[in-house]
Chains A and B, each alone.
Chain A
Amino acid sequence: MDTAQPDDVIVLEDVWKIFGKREAEALSAARAGIPKPEILSRFDCVVGVAGVNLTVRRREIFCVMGLSGSGKSTLVRHVNRLLEPTAGRVIINGADIMQKSNADLRRLRARDIGMVFQNFGLIPHRTVRENVALPLEIQGASLNQRYSLAEAALARVALSGWGNRLPSELSGGMQQRVGLARALAADPPILLLDEPFSALDPLIRRQLQDEFIQLSRDMGKTTMFITHDLDEAIRVGTRIAIMKDGAIVQVGTAEEIVANPMDDYVADFVANISRLHVVHAHRIMENADKWRARHGARHGDLTDFAPARADMTISDLIDIAAKTDAPIAVHDGDGTTIGIIDKARLLDGIKGDIR
């Protein structure tokens, strides 16, 4: 991988996608702030993506979360130009892909981007190995290379020995692993996952999520992960973007979104999310100096308190609090006490009253 390349791997700048014959008129109307239903009735055009700006940094898993019809699958298809934006720029590794020729675009898709689809998109009459080798075949790799790289990719997703089967002989979860292996086969730096685990049952989904997080960490891929499931986004995502009606409502880490939802729409989403594993100590602690001022206690008293690290989750803090009656002292990396969490504060944090 070229380390000289910029750290912002995927950049979307004011991307608009409007479906319909009168897209130009509809675009200017939508930019002027006319709502979607009116654009549909006036121009017979559907606004798929409405002025999205986002940046995916190297090696992060960037989740795009939204309900069906929010435009998230449409959005991800702009990254490899499966869909042409009506307006805006799509920049991959510093190069505007709208400027690329067809051949360059195909090379980009084959070499730099792996994509996984909700309904797998495997070719039914080809064996699993031939499916996995598809990107290599398109790149014109030799038969030997195709075989060995495909086997390696299959081994990564724990499907060694299944290469000669047909996709229809595999279960849904295994088929999606084949899809993942195909995305990894050519070792592209960028992965696009369009609701990869949505069609699977909850147990398999969880298992594949864990495997994927592990793989992505090991291989250092830059990933754009589309999902309609906030739990999944929180488990998998480094950062999460929440989409509504084609536009991005809020971008942030899981903790930022859960602890500090931008508007009612996001608040509704996160209402049912358990804060225990998402919110960290530094967010709910009371500043150590304030605590001292409030209690008039001397510095030394704090040493009796149960110690905790700033990056511990509420769940960890509950474990600590269960073993002691004293408040919890939160330390930073150097061992300095930076904050205090007493019982009342902890309970407020669990309830979500601290923002």
Chain B
Amino acid sequence: MTERPAESQTELVQRFTGRGGDYYTQVFERIEQTTGWHASFNVVAFLLGPLWLGARALWLAFWVVFMVEIFAVVLVGIGIFGDLGSDDIARADRLTTQAAQRMEAAQKAAAEGSNLAESMHKSAEAIATAAQKAREAAEASRGQAAMFVGIGAALLALVRLLTGIGANALLALRFRQWRSNNSRPSALPLARITGTLLLVGLCYPLAVYRFARSDVPIWLVTFPAATDLRNALSVGIDQGVRWIADSFGGFFAAITGAINAVLNLMETVLVVTPWPIVMTVILTLAWQISGRRVAIFSGSALAYLAFLGFWEKSMATVALLGTAAVLCIAIGVPLGVLCGRRPRVNAALRPVLDFMQTMPAFVYLIPVIAFFGIGKPPGIIATLVFGMPPVIRLTALGIAGVPPAIREAALAYGATPRFLLLKVDLPLALPSIMTGINQTLLMCLSMVVIASLIGAKGLGEEVLSALQYAAVGQGILAGIAILMCAMVLDRIVQGQQK
């Protein structure tokens, strides 16, 4: 332990605390001398609670204590001011009057000798019992009031006690931080005191008021929302989308055309070609690229699809998502390389990728329909939006993770940028890129059901109709078929990496 000159320590503590320096000099010294926990009690902190913590800028402790105390204050408020059981009492009163009326009517009927008198009498008695029960419930609620107050007060006392006990340790900790880093908050500036005072002084009464009274103004319960603004905005967006759709019709048509070209090629290969050829090719590919085990697995997966009559739909689905995946990779890998090399592009693209992954598909399905109509191409575009982020992110990660020493060595031997990219960066980033492709494939497949909502036929359509008719069996079978497609594709693409 280092001995500091007593004077400088005292001066430091004086400067740090701003007020009560003498007390804290002693306390800090004792804390620093004690091994383990030094028990002390800060009366000011106990009395002032969150005010003390706020004024000392111990914000974490402040917020914890503040939240718990608000809760305790609300409990006490409900207990003292709250009209607990007022609903029950009102009901009891209502029922009592009703019972009295019925009783009167029953007596009248009895006097007239009606045979209904008996049953009227019974119902009047039943109502009276209900009234009695309501009154009892109200009584019970009244009894709860005392409990609320009790719990609230106990909680409040406990929190204050803990504050008083922990206060000095917290402040000593902050003091040590401040000593090595003078930018940590210290002393007691007026602004901080007023701010804390305002916060506590406004929030506590408001909380009590809101929970304690039943007739609070409506603006205190629900936020006064600007519904007009929302309507105006959404109308504006509607018009904007319509304007874009009208003005750039040719552009969107061109995209649709391009996607259709790829899609038609895929469909010709997978759907139009007779199934024995397609199956043979898939199995041979699986065997050659990924080995015997994957080939056997693919064989059983294809058998499942074929025997259960999913073959055509599966191939249509694979064509659809194959197109989406090919486009994802063709756009995503170069973008990922750019992101990995240019931190600024990465920073700019990140929120876009977050948006693409987080935004529910149904939200962007609407403008996609507006721009591209319905059918397969818009389905592919919706899939693209969802499926592209992983391959971009993981490519960027892989490229950024290429050891600089290896790139430097290649540069030192005169490597051109192209050589560096093709022979150094991409091969070294390959494992990461392959993971990205795997993720993108799987995410594309998970979109087939949603894509089928806007007319992209295939296995998704099966699932959709099963959903509409609550056909559990059909849904599960079609779902497994989608899974089979995904796994076969992924295992073949991943090759022998595993």
Contact = CB atoms under 8 A, between A and B. Distances in A.
Interface stretch (B40-48, B117-125, B164-172, B401-409): B401-409
B414 A123 contact: no
A109 B413 contact: yes
Contacts of B413: 109-110, 114-115, 134-135, 138, 182, 186
Contact of B414 (A121, A139, A182): A139
A110 B428 contact: no
A113 B412 contact: yes
Interface string B182-225: 00000000000000000000000000000000000000000000
A107 interface: yes
Contact of B416 (A106, A113, A125): A106
The interface residues of chain B, by DSSP majority, are classed as helix
A135 B409 CA distance: 10
Contacts of B411: 82, 109
Interface in A36-53: none
Interface in A142-197: 182, 186, 192
A82 B408 contact: yes
B48 to A, nearest CB: 41
B161 interface: no
A124 interface: yes
Contact of B412 (A109, A111, A123, A124): A109
Interface residues of B, number: 16
B356 interface: no
B424 interface: yes
Interface in A99-147: 105-111, 113-115, 117, 119-125, 134-135, 138-139
B338 interface: no
Most buried by B among A105, A106, A114, A139: A106
B409 A107 contact: no
A125 B429 CA distance: 11
Contacts of A120: 405
Given A107-B414, A124-B428, A138-B414, A117 B419 contact: no
A308 B351 CA distance: 79
B334 interface: no
A80 interface: yes
Interface in B387-436: 405-406, 408-416, 419, 423-424, 427-428
Nearest to B416: A106
A117 B410 CA distance: 11
Given A124-B428, A125-B428, A119 B405 contact: yes
A121 B408 contact: yes
A82 B414 contact: no
A120 B406 CA distance: 8
Contacts of B428: 123-125
Contacts of A182: 413
Contacts of B410: 121, 123, 134, 138
Given A109-B414, A110-B413, A115-B413, A123 B424 contact: yes
A120 B411 CA distance: 14
A52 to B, nearest CB: 20
Contacts of A109: 411-414
B310 to A, nearest CB: 40
A190 to B, nearest CB: 12
Given A123-B424, A124-B428, A125-B427, A106 B409 contact: no
A108 B413 CA distance: 9
Contacts of B414: 105-111, 135, 138-139
A117 B416 contact: no
Nearest to A112: B414
A108 B411 CA distance: 11
Contacts of A115: 409, 412-413
A138 B414 CA distance: 7
B421 to A, nearest CB: 13
Interface string A81-106: 01000000000000000000000011
Contacts of B424: 123
Nearest to B420: A138
A269 B424 CA distance: 41
Contacts of B405: 117, 119-121
A135 B410 CA distance: 8
A82 B408 CA distance: 8
B21 to A, nearest CB: 32
Nearest to B417: A102
A121 B419 CA distance: 16
A111 B413 CA distance: 8
B320 to A, nearest CB: 35
A125 B410 CA distance: 14
A176 to B, nearest CB: 12
A122 B415 contact: no
Interface in B107-157: none
A117 B427 contact: no
Contacts of A121: 405-406, 408-410, 412
Contact of B406 (A82, A111, A122, A135): A122
Given A80-B412, A82-B411, A138 B406 contact: no
A346 B416 CA distance: 59
Nearest to B411: A82
B84 to A, nearest CB: 64
A138 B423 CA distance: 10
A256 B428 CA distance: 47
21 contacts: A106-B414, A107-B414, A108-B414, A109-B414, A111-B414, A117-B405, A117-B408, A117-B409, A117-B412, A120-B405, A121-B406, A121-B410, A123-B406, A123-B410, A123-B423, A123-B427, A125-B428, A134-B410, A138-B419, A139-B414, A186-B413
Q: Which 6 pairs, one residue from A and one from B, show the smallest C-beta to C-beta distance?
A: A121-B409, A110-B414, A109-B414, A106-B414, A115-B412, A135-B413
Given A121-B405, A123-B410, A139-B414, 19 more contacts: A80-B412, A82-B408, A82-B411, A108-B414, A109-B412, A109-B413, A111-B414, A113-B412, A115-B409, A119-B405, A120-B405, A121-B406, A122-B409, A134-B413, A135-B414, A138-B413, A138-B415, A182-B413, A186-B413
